[in-house]
Structure 1
Amino acid sequence: MNLKQAFVGILTTGCLIGAAVLLPSVGQAQDAKVKMAMELLQSMAGKIGPPKTEGIDTVAGKQVPAIYFGSTKMNNHFDLVDEVVKQAGGTATIFVKSGDEYVRVATNVKKDDGSRAVGTILDPKGKAIASIQKNEPFYGEVDILGKPYITGYEPIRDQSKNVIGIYYVGYLK
């Protein structure tokens, strides 16, 4: 009986050590995936053209600035975010700065009813907005519309270096 208990103890210890070694690499893989998706989103947006805001547009019944990459308006235009998700998985969003809020104007994040979450705002009390307000990116876990995501948020700057929006990518945890 003692030999059997010793074997089970050694096996259990081995499993715990194995889990401790593997779990950080799962987190690192997720972080690498988020960074790769963010680079893809920014690269694809850059190929369309430089970011700018111009005029006002209606998104989900809200009046918000129209955000462009080059001459392509992003408000209610989903090709960019959908192509990023097609290539990298997860979710992607373009936010526009509207006063003190950041509004989703192009997204494939879904609401509970399955519709795109356009017109919803970045959590004003969340971790991501605190970084963006300091002109810094944010990478980490956040709650989006009640669900946990591993995410990346990077400021979108116009040619004068003003923050006019946010690039977002994320994966449901």
Structure 2
Amino acid sequence: MKWNYSFFSLLMAVSFIAAGALLPGLSVAQDAKVKAAMEVMKSKAENLGPPKIEGSDTVAGKQVPAIYFGSTKMNNNYDLVDGVVMQAGGTATIFVKSGANFVRVATNIKKDDGSRAIGTVLDPKGKAIASIQKDKPFYGEVDILGKLYVTGYEPIHDAANHVIGIYYVGYKK
């Protein structure tokens, strides 16, 4: 009986060590996947042209600035975000800066009712916004509409180098 208890203890210790060794690898793999998806997003956006704000538009009943890549308006246009997801999986969003907030104007993140979460605002108290306000990218775990995601957020700059929006990509955890 004593041998079985010792064997069981040893087996448990080895299991915890193995789990600890594997989980960081999983995290690194998820981070690499997010960074690769972000490169797809930025490359596709760059192919459309330089980012700019031109006028305003209504998104989910809210009046917000209209964000463009070249001559392609992103507000209520899902081609870019859906193209990223077709190529890299996960979820993708374009946010536009509207006052102190960042509003989802193109996304494939779904609300509980199955509709696209356009018009929703990036959590003003979240980890991502703190980095974006410092003009720095954010990569990490974030709660989005009640679900945990491994994410990447990067500022979108106009020709004058002002932050006018945010690129987002992520994967449900």
Normalising by structure 1, report the TM-score.
Answer: 0.97
User: What 5-or-longer segments of structure 2 have no aligned partner?
Assistant: none
Compute the displacement of 1:86 (Å): 1.1
The match for 1:125 is 125
1:40-98 Cα deviation digits (max 9, x unpaired): 10011001111001011111111111100011000000011001111111110000011
2:156 & 2:38 partners in 1: Cα distance? 12
Compute the displacement of 1:2 (Å): 2.1
The match for 2:141 is 141
Residue type of the partner of 1:103? Answer: V
The match for 2:3 is 3
Compute the displacement of 1:146 (Å): 1.2
The match for 1:38 is 38
Residue type of the partner of 1:57? Answer: D
1:20 & 1:113 partners in 2: Cα distance? 37
Q: What SS class does the counterpart of residue 23 from structure 1 fall into?
A: helix
Compute the displacement of 1:12 (Å): 1.6
1:130 & 1:53 partners in 2: Cα distance? 22
1:121-166 Cα deviation digits (max 9, x unpaired): 1111111111111111111111111111111100000111000000
Residue type of the partner of 2:168? Answer: Y
1:7 & 1:129 partners in 2: Cα distance? 49
1:142 & 1:18 partners in 2: Cα distance? 26
- Listed as ranges, the matches of 1:1-173 within 5 Å are 1-173=1-173
Residue type of the partner of 1:36? Answer: A
1:170 & 1:91 partners in 2: Cα distance? 5
User: What 5-or-longer segments of structure 1 have no aligned partner?
Assistant: none
1:82 & 1:11 partners in 2: Cα distance? 46
Number of aligned residue pairs: give it. Answer: 173
2:9 & 2:100 partners in 1: Cα distance? 57
Q: What SS class does the counterpart of residue 56 from structure 1 fall into?
A: strand
Compute the displacement of 1:35 (Å): 0.7
1:36 & 1:56 partners in 2: Cα distance? 31
Compute the displacement of 1:3 (Å): 2.2
1:91 & 1:137 partners in 2: Cα distance? 17
2:166 & 2:149 partners in 1: Cα distance? 17
1:15 & 1:142 partners in 2: Cα distance? 28
Percent of residue pairs identical: 71
Residue type of the partner of 1:7? Answer: F
Compute the displacement of 1:13 (Å): 1.6
Q: After TM superposition, where is structure 1 displaced by more than 6 Å over at least 4 residues in a row?
A: none
Compute the displacement of 1:31 (Å): 0.8
